[in-house]
Structures are given as C-alpha cells and as structure tokens.
Homo-oligomer: A and B are copies of this chain.
Amino acid sequence: MTNSAGKSQKSDVAQLRTAIPRAKQGDSPCAACQVRHLAVCSALEDSELNLLDKIVRFVELEAGDSVFDEGEPALNVYNLTAGTVKLYKLLPDGRRQVTGFLSAGDFLGLAASDDYIFSAESVTPASLCKFSRADLDLLLEQAPQLERRLLGMARYELAEAQDQMLLLGRKTAKERIASFLLMLSDRAVCRGEADNPVLIPMSRNDIGDYLGLTTETVSRTLTRLRTGGVISLETDRKITLVERETLQDISEGF
C-alpha cells in the first residue's frame, strides 16, 4: 500500500524541483499559492497568511504514495495543491471502495474520530500542504472564520456523497460512467482547466472501485459509449465528450 524504499528516492528529486518556485526568497509561500482561492485558505485575509506559513509543511508525493492509512491516528490535515489523490476504504477480503478523488484545492483529513476513517493515496504525482491537527485547532481560535469555511466545505462534500449514494445504489453501469465523465469535466472547469477533452488521471481499476463496478465493466461500458458515438477515446486517459447533452441525459437516468 505504501511505497518501497527504491521508489521513494525519486520523491526527493521531485521535492527539489518544486521547492524553488514554492518558497522563493523566503517570503510567504502561502501568499504565492496558486490554488489559494480554491482552498480553505481563502477564508484568511492576506495579513493572516503568516499564521499559516508558521505551521505549514510541504509534502511532495509521486504516483502511488500513501498519505495515510485508515485506522492510523489522525494527527495531520492536508491541503492538496497539485495532482490527484484517492480516498478509499477496504473490506477484509480486499474489496475496495474509493469514496472520492481529490484535486487541487481540496482539503483532506478532517476526520470525525481520532483516527483516520479512510486511506489516502496519490494517483498522480502530488503536492500537499501539511498541518498538524493541534496547530490547526490553535489557528481556529485565532481565525474563527475558518470554521465557517470548513463547515461550507463539509456541506459540499455531504452533497457530493449523497449524489454518489444515488449513483451506487440505483444507477446502471452506463449511467455511472456518464456521471463520472461529466464530474471530471465539471471539476476541471472549477480548477480553471478545459472542460473537454476530459483528462482521466486514474486507472480503470480505480474508476471501478469508485463506481462500484469491475475494471472490465468500466472498460466495456466506455467501449459502448464510444461505439454509440457519445464519446471518443483519444488515449486511455483522455476522452472527448462528443455529445455532452446525450451524456447528461444518460447520467440523469433518462
């Protein structure tokens, strides 16, 4: 689940590469953050950013690295600033449910209990801002408006979770795939990227574990949508939405 020593050596290289633009000249790295407007941090005034700078640590991950595992003490929280991270839960026999994919600006680790209740692992190379929960709690005292921002984010996540329950409980494979592609497209727009073609950072297996399907069903369903002319596969990981309206109708169950 976590990485071997051989792989994590490369991570150091990545750290060197990105450390320079992130904290140049020793002035506030948070003030220079490209995704601040997307993150919890948007709740802080420019003058308060130094509070963040004091407690933040930067983490660089390569694809497949573990951020934390379910059941560990929830000591840290994270802001994802680049890349994609997946959250998942496991059953004893290895069945896996991916409960979400995170991208730039998303917050991670806000657990209800003392331990993490899911595992988090990078899907692509990723950059995170790491805060200890103790530091975060102190910060919340100084900047109570952060609490409102966190509540807003939690509500949004709840809304997404309810949509996902509808998908998992009642939608067909075709409807699930259509919903998934549209979600990726919409989220790219939120990050200021193009809505089409859709870039798919995760494997068919990860998609299956997110949608409650097998790899094979994901693949077959994509093939059928392609054959039907609704989408077009540029590569495995790059899909053009040819008939967005049709896809929308399929995703909503019409």
CA of A212 to CA of B209, assembled, Å:
17
- Write the A166-182 contact mask toward B (1 if CB under 8 angstroms, else 0): 10111100000000000
Interface string of A116-150 (1 = CB under 8 A from B): 01100000000000000000000000001001101
- Give the contacts of A166-221 with B (CB-CB under 8 A): 166, 168-171, 209-212
Please judge, given known A-B contacts A117-B159, A165-B99, A169-B211, whether A253 and B91 are in contact too, CB under 8 Å: yes
CB pair A162–B118 under 8 Å, yes or no, is yes
This protein's copies in its complex:
2
Q: Is A24 an interface residue (CB 8 A)?
A: no
Whether B166 pairs with A91 at a CB distance below 8 angstroms is: yes
- Interface size for A (C-beta < 8 A) is 44
Chain B residues within 8 Å of A158, by CB: 112, 154, 157-158, 161
A-B contact pairs, 15 of them (CB 8 A): A89-B166, A95-B170, A96-B170, A97-B169, A97-B170, A99-B166, A112-B158, A113-B159, A154-B155, A158-B161, A165-B165, A165-B168, A169-B210, A169-B211, A170-B212
Which residues from chain A sit less than 8 Å from chain B, CB to CB? 87, 89, 91-93, 95-97, 99, 110-113, 117-118, 144, 147-148, 150-152, 154-159, 161-166, 168-171, 209-212, 252-254
